[in-house]
Structure 1
Amino acid sequence: MMGLNSKKVLQYVLFLGIGFALLYLTFKNVNPTELWANIQSVDAMGLLVALGIGFVAIIIRGIRWVQLLRSLGYHVTPLRAISAVAFSYLINLVTPRVGEVARCTALNKTDQIPIDKLFGTVVLERVVDTLMFGLVVLITFVTQAPDLLLFLEESGASLPELNAGFFIIAGILLFLFGVVLFLTKSTWLNWQFTKKILGFISGIIEGLKSIQKVDNKALFWTYSFAIWVCYVGTIVVGFNIVEGLSDLGIGQAFYVSVAAALGFVVPVPGGLGAYHYLVSKALVVLGYTAELGTAFATIIHSGQSLMFVITGAVGMVILYFAQKK
């Protein structure tokens, strides 16, 4: 147990170190005076509007989750689902990837819904979100292909080239692994641990199938699309509150949204460093100064983080009293 805890601590320290390293790379060649001047130019009311749009995305996520859970026969109030989603964002600020587990645990305690089914719906949400992100990337590629390709090259976010030999070796290894599993299944299928894992996977699969039972599939996909509209909308408003970026349009907003999403994919707490590095790099590729790009990334990330802290804390309180009932 101590070894496991030590491993988690070391992993957390490593990812946090990566975040700080990316922060250093982002800020090391930035003129602090010019950076501060760009930050001071921000329209505070406009920033509140941008953060409000971000919170709307959290609300939509909660309502979409309610729809999925109802398809499985579980009736959760929108307030508790939204609170759980907000709480998950707060947790992700501290420990990446743990927020989704936290929101499932929260609803398990308030509504006694099995964890495996909750987790299945969350996995389904992630699959759908990935499809929506793919759509955003496609739109960006159509409208901003040269900028996107240059950004991927300069940021190191492009995929490495894999030759045919890699896929052949990987295929052979997977085949051999499958053969071993098949030949020994009479043994490992009787393990108590295996039965628990298979039972949990069965619950996840049931959660994934919830999309087949959703009453209004069009509404579900509308929610899913609206979430990303909010993300892009936050960037659009952000352009208009930072002096010097107001000439950017919706095409550039999709492009910067791709960079922002990739920043949150990197397993660092709350996208710290990764968001700053990738978003500022995206704006530099568009021809803006490092100071302006870094100021934009810092403003949006800091504002969102503060919003996650406030809404997550409120959600935690709501869930606490719901559990008491």
Structure 2
Amino acid sequence: MIANERLKSILRLVLPIVLGFGLLWWLYRDIDWGEVRSILETKLNYGVLAFSLIFGLGANVVRGLRWQLLIDPLTEGQPRPRLRNAIYTILGSYTVNMVIPRAGELWRCAEYKRREQIPFSSLLGTLITDRLTDVICLGLILVGVALANPGFFLGLLGQGRDWQGLLADLLGSPWLYLAFVLALLGFYALARLLKRHPEHRISQALHQVWAGIQSVRVMKYRGLFIIYSILIWLGYFGFFYTAFFAFPFTRELSVGVALIAFGMSALSVLVPVQNGMGAWHWIVVMTLATYGVLQTDAKSFALIVHLTQTLWVTIVGLVAIIILPITNRGYVRIQQHNTSDKQH
């Protein structure tokens, strides 16, 4: 049993990395590396590329500010948690993700709990809200881009396919409705079971998760939450689009093309690979090539930009992980609150 669990843990760690390197090898197996070297030596504007990194850092700092807004309702009546801890754990989570795929978010909640003594499950609920907000933002970006550039997406889907027929077959299948009914029955049975046993650990954990999710409803600064969300995605877009001006073959492309490439590249998070490795490159190369960028140039852009951004986020996160325990030396929020009560 222990051996099986260990094997599963190893596979969860290794498979995303292997799959990512496999996609990279497939995409770059026939590239002219001499041309890539020429771009690095004579064509790349390193100053502009370095400037683009500011947008990525700014977006992740604002992400920490936004997460703090979700956490605040969980600590009502207590001293407010340190804002720096939200920022440092956000930054550090990206570095943890580089080492252990998908583990950064859990590390973020665990480390914040350790510093601020807030239940892990409640923090997990705020994390769900945080990620759901990002999904909504990305969906709005993709819808806007699709409405503004329908030709690109119709070309991807293939105009010759009978999508209406496929949709009619799906809606006419009894298996779809059977699966829907079974899912509803399953959720109903689980809800009844947990309601009859509110003392159960799972029931208490789900209650705390739900409290975390509802934090967006009771937060004091919902307008600020929306502003932060907009700033985060503007920062991520600036992180990506500014890099266009570092290369001679992309600096003349329009903002619309950059938005399409950016929106499509964000979908790479759906592929179970390390940091979008391979999937991000393929989507960006495909989009740039559609708008006239040569394959070698598009592949060079994707390789250089992704590597630069990955190293930057990892280094910044590593610094945050190192700073986090230093800045929290001797800090215990709950004890400070209790001491304050006694003084009053």
Would the TM-score normalized by the shorter structure come out above 0.5? Answer: yes
- 2:149 is paired with a residue whose SS is helix
Q: Which moved more, 1:248-257 or 1:315-324?
A: 315-324
The equivalent residue for 1:173 is 179
Note the residue ranges of structure 1 that are not aligned, 5 or more in a row. Answer: none
C-alpha displacement of 1:266: 1.5
1:78 counterpart letter in structure 2: L
1:58 counterpart letter in structure 2: N
Kept in 1: contact 2:271–2:279 (CA 8 A) = yes
C-alpha displacement of 1:303: 1.2
C-alpha displacement of 1:29: 2.7
Question: Identity of counterpart residues, as a percentage?
Answer: 26
2:138 counterpart letter in structure 1: F
> Aligned partners of 2:98, 2:297: CA distance in 1, in Å?
25
TM norm structure 2: 0.84
Q: Which moved more, 1:205-214 or 1:262-271?
A: 262-271
Match status 1:13 vs 2:18: no
The equivalent residue for 1:270 is 275
Please point out which of 144, 152, 160 is paired with 1:147.
Answer: 152
Kept in 1: contact 2:194–2:200 (CA 8 A) = no
> Aligned partners of 2:189, 2:99: CA distance in 1, in Å?
44
2:87 counterpart letter in structure 1: I
Classify 1:139/1:19 alpha carbon distance in 2 versus 1 (closer, same or farther; 3 Å).
same
Classify 1:71/1:184 alpha carbon distance in 2 versus 1 (closer, same or farther; 3 Å).
closer
The equivalent residue for 2:66 is 64
The equivalent residue for 2:217 is 212
The equivalent residue for 2:207 is 202
C-alpha displacement of 1:25: 2.0
2:63 counterpart letter in structure 1: R
Note the residue ranges of structure 2 that are not aligned, 5 or more in a row. Answer: 331-344
Q: How does 1:193-272 map to 2 (within 5 A)?
A: 195-272=200-277
C-alpha displacement of 1:120: 0.6
Classify 1:310/1:188 alpha carbon distance in 2 versus 1 (closer, same or farther; 3 Å).
closer
Kept in 2: contact 1:67–1:214 (CA 8 A) = yes
Q: Which moved more, 1:300-309 or 1:27-36?
A: 27-36
Kept in 2: contact 1:25–1:277 (CA 8 A) = no
The equivalent residue for 1:318 is 323
> Aligned partners of 1:82, 1:185: CA distance in 2, in Å?
35
Kept in 2: contact 1:150–1:285 (CA 8 A) = no
Structure with the greater alpha carbon radius of gyration: 2
The equivalent residue for 2:3 is 2
Please point out which of 280, 285, 290 is paired with 2:295.
Answer: 290
The equivalent residue for 2:57 is 55
1:320 counterpart letter in structure 2: P
> Aligned partners of 1:237, 1:171: CA distance in 2, in Å?
47
- 1:173 is paired with a residue whose SS is helix
Kept in 2: contact 1:72–1:213 (CA 8 A) = no
> Aligned partners of 2:36, 2:189: CA distance in 1, in Å?
63
- 1:96 is paired with a residue whose SS is coil
The equivalent residue for 2:341 is none
TM norm structure 1: 0.89
C-alpha displacement of 1:168: 3.2
> Aligned partners of 1:24, 1:52: CA distance in 2, in Å?
30
Kept in 1: contact 2:194–2:203 (CA 8 A) = no
Match status 1:38 vs 2:43: no
